[in-house]
């Protein structure tokens, strides 16, 4: 039985930086070769980064990727890696004479060896849901590529090809492949359990051969990729599994079934079978007379992280890469002593180091003493930079100049704070302000535009309020388990939340308890359930109507909110796309557009 040593390189690529990504591939290919690998798999579109979005429509970018993949093959050979087979994701196009751009963009995997691109496979199934718009950009492939290496037929697939019944997986079975190699760029989502592991196991059984899956790792704007690369045997049992949220070279020794389909040194092709895909074969090498005696790598299966640790590490990685890849050296944020800003500050310290985090306390005449002391205690526990800038004199100056009261006066305080944070960030760049709002507040419009909503990134934008408390508690427990001081003051976790914009204000003055609110929001926002469905769960009708109304009216505010790491099935932004001007109201007559004005009594802030 032929033997292959396989390497899965789960890397952190940067969208658009083709040169740096190519360097990354060469570096990790060298590591794979030094580990004795015969073949190394790199993630989907690792050469360009993923997702490239409308860069795929720019001819110069497509051509840069096409040129770079050819140069990459030569670079690997020049680095004494010509013997290694590398499967590399990149952006290509169809070749269509007369097409204004030479052809349609394609999401491809190239097989590089001996200084050449010996085969390339175009992604067959293009996802068009959630954050994915691949049908907008790419032309699908219709041909399965099978590469024979050391006497083993390796079939190539890309990401969503694995998720769909039939197609590429069925074609791999028809081709009698000895290994199905799948390169992925699959973003992280919480509450997925182990759906990837279950999918990989099921598809291995359908393909009738072992399956190797390599995933991207790292943050890209609102997405974060968690790695978690794996290999299963032909029965679907996971025999090798990589870690989450870190770059890693995952290695495995595999005894694989020998190729049984005859072929000579020239390429052969088979007509489409039941899968509907043609099968193209490329010969790299037949089985050697003798297998190398290089020992056996002990397979390692990393344990999956707990749900809370997954989310926390996803948020840290998303923020770290947003700063690193955009050249941001420091971050500023308002520290109110509340749980949201406290968690964001802690995430920032873990992501880029406390020395690069600047917290600003802006007490007003309504700020409680514990808010001031809790913010200071957080700074002392974490070591972040801390300053206090009272806003009462500035508020007095504004109120002397203009006549405002009520919500307008409350929002004035938030906007003054936002001006201070932005001024500090502008003065001491390259830096950004972090917005500290959570998903529950964002859902119902409980934020102030140009106030607490200012910033360049919103780390907990997709984190419900109840999860903010869970994550803060987990982070403290993690510190204790490691023999460290918990970073988050206990009072920040236990005290009742308040915006502190008027005397004695509590969040529950305007909102239902967060435990109830988050349950309704999960059904309405993430589950797309209608009013009748939610009422059937036992909620009060007036409460449901009020929450739904607040969510609907806050759409324009969410459009102006900074980007933030996606961790849920349906995050605000590309996942959930609703019109701002929208007269549809379930269970009631359509609401005239004029009721969406700033004097709406149910608008908590604007």
Query: What is the token pair recorded at 29?
Result: 């290919």
Please count the residues of the chain: 606
Give the integer Cα–Cα distance in Å for 463 and 478.
19
State the burial class of residue 20 (Cβ atoms within 10 Å of its Cβ: 0-12, 13-18, 19+).
exposed
Give the integer Cα–Cα distance in Å for 151 and 256.
9
Report phi then psi at 91, rounded to 5.
-105, 130
Q: Of 87, 171, 159, give the one whose Cα is nearest residue 123.
A: 159
State the burial class of residue 371 (Cβ atoms within 10 Å of its Cβ: 0-12, 13-18, 19+).
buried
Q: What's the longest Cα–Cα distance across the chain?
A: 91
Q: Name the packing angle between helices 465-481 and 307-325 (round to 10°).
A: 90
Selecting among 123, 439, 461, 566, the annotated active-site residue is: 123
Selecting among 108, 134, 159, 186, the annotated active-site residue is: 159
Report phi then psi at 519, rounded to 5.
-65, -45
Cα torsion through 283, 287, 293, 297, rounded to 10: 60
Which run of H or of E encompasses 342?
helix 339-352
Could you check whether the bond before residue 141 is cis, i.e. omega within 30 degrees of 0? no
| Residue 470 annotated as catalytic | no
Return the bridge partners of 255, or none.
3
Q: Check if the beta carbon of residue 182 is closer than 8 Å to that of residue 210.
A: no
Q: Check if the beta carbon of residue 516 is closer than 8 Å to that of residue 538.
A: no
| Matching residue, tokens 């994915």 | 132
Report phi then psi at 364, rounded to 5.
-115, -175
The secondary structure of the chain in percent helix, strand, coil, rounded to multiples of 5, reads 35, 20, 45
Query: What is the token pair recorded at 330?
Result: 């420091």
Q: Of 128, 132, 319, give the one whose Cα is nearest residue 221.
A: 319
Return the bridge partners of 108, or none.
90, 122
Give the integer Cα–Cα distance in Å for 343 and 487.
9
Give the integer Cα–Cα distance in Å for 240 and 164.
23
Query: What is the token pair recorded at 160?
Result: 């969503």
Residues 6+ apart with CB under 8 A from 468: 339, 340, 343, 438, 460
Q: Check if the beta carbon of residue 127 is closer than 8 Å to that of residue 571.
A: no
Give the integer Cα–Cα distance in Å for 51 and 91.
11
Q: Check if the beta carbon of residue 103 is closer than 8 Å to that of residue 96.
A: yes
Q: Check if the beta carbon of residue 517 is closer than 8 Å to that of residue 523.
A: no
Q: Of 416, 343, 412, give the one whose Cα is nearest residue 374.
A: 343
| Residue 310 annotated as catalytic | no
Does residue 268 sit in helix, strand or coil? strand
| Residue 248 annotated as catalytic | no
The set of catalytic residues is 44, 123, 159
């Amino acid at each position: 039985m032929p033997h292959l040593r396989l390497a899965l390189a789960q890397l952190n690529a940067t969208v658009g930086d083709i040169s740096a990504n190519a360097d990354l591939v060469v570096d990790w290919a060298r590591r794979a070769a030094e580990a004795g690998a015969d073949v190394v798999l790199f993630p989907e579109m690792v050469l360009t980064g993923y997702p490239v979005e409308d860069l795929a429509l720019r001819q110069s970018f497509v051509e840069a990727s096409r040129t770079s993949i050819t140069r990459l093959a030569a670079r690997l050979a020049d680095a004494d890696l010509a013997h290694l087979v590398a499967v590399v994701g990149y952006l290509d196009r169809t070749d269509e004479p007369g097409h204004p751009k030479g052809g349609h963009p394609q999401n491809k995997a190239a097989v590089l060896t001996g200084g050449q691109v010996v085969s390339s496979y175009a992604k067959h199934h293009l996802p068009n849901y959630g954050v994915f718009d691949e049908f907008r950009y790419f032309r699908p492939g219709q041909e399965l590529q099978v590469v024979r290496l050391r006497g083993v037929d390796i079939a190539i697939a890309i990401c969503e090809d694995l998720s769909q019944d039939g197609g590429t997986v069925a074609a791999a079975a028809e081709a009698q492949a000895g290994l199905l190699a799948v390169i992925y760029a699959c973003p992280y989502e919480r509450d997925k359990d182990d759906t990837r592991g279950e999918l990989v196991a099921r598809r291995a059984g359908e393909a009738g051969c072992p399956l190797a899956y390599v995933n991207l790792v790292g943050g890209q704007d609102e997405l974060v990729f968690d790695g978690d690369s794996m290999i299963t045997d032909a029965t679907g049992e996971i025999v090798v599994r990589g870690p989450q949220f870190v770059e890693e070279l995952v290695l495995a020794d595999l005894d694989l079934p020998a190729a049984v389909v005859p072929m000579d040194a020239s390429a052969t092709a088979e007509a489409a079978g039941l899968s509907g895909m043609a099968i193209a074969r490329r010969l790299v090498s037949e089985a050697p007379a003798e297998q190398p005696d290089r020992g056996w790598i002990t397979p390692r299966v990393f344990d999956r992280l707990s749900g809370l640790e997954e989310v926390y590490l996803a948020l840290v990685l998303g923020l770290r890469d947003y700063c690193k890849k955009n050249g941001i050296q420091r971050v500023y944020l308002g520290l109110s002593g509340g749980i949201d800003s406290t968690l964001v500050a802690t995430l920032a310290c873990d992501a880029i180091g406390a020395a690069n985090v600047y917290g600003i306390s802006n007490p007003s005449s309504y700020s409680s003493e514990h808010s001031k002391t809790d913010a200071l205690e957080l700074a002392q526990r974490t070591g972040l930079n801390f300053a206090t800038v009272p806003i009462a004199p500035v508020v007095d100056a504004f109120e002397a100049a203009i006549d405002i009261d009520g919500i307008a006066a409350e929002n004035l305080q938030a906007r003054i704070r936002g001006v201070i944070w932005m001024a500090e960030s502008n003065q001491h760049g390259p830096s950004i302000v972090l917005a500290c709002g959570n998903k529950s507040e964002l859902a119902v419009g409980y934020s102030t535009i140009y106030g607490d909503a200012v910033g360049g990134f919103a780390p907990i934008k997709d984190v419900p309020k109840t999860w903010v408390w869970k994550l803060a508690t987990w982070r403290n427990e993690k510190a204790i388990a490691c023999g460290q001081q918990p970073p988050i003051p206990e009072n920040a976790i236990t005290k009742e939340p308040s915006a502190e914009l008027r005397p004695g204000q509590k969040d529950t003055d305007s909102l239902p308890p967060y435990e109830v609110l988050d349950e309704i929001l999960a059904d309405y926002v993430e589950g797309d359930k209608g009013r009748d469905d939610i009422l059937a769960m036992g909620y009060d009708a007036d409460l449901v109507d009020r929450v739904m109304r607040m969510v609907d009216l806050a759409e324009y505010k969410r459009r102006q909110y900074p980007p933030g790491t996606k961790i849920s099935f349906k995050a605000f932004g590309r996942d959930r796309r609703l019109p701002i001007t929208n007269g549809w109201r379930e269970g009631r007559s359509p609401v005239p557009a004029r009721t969406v004005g700033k004097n709406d009594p149910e608008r908590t802030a604007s």
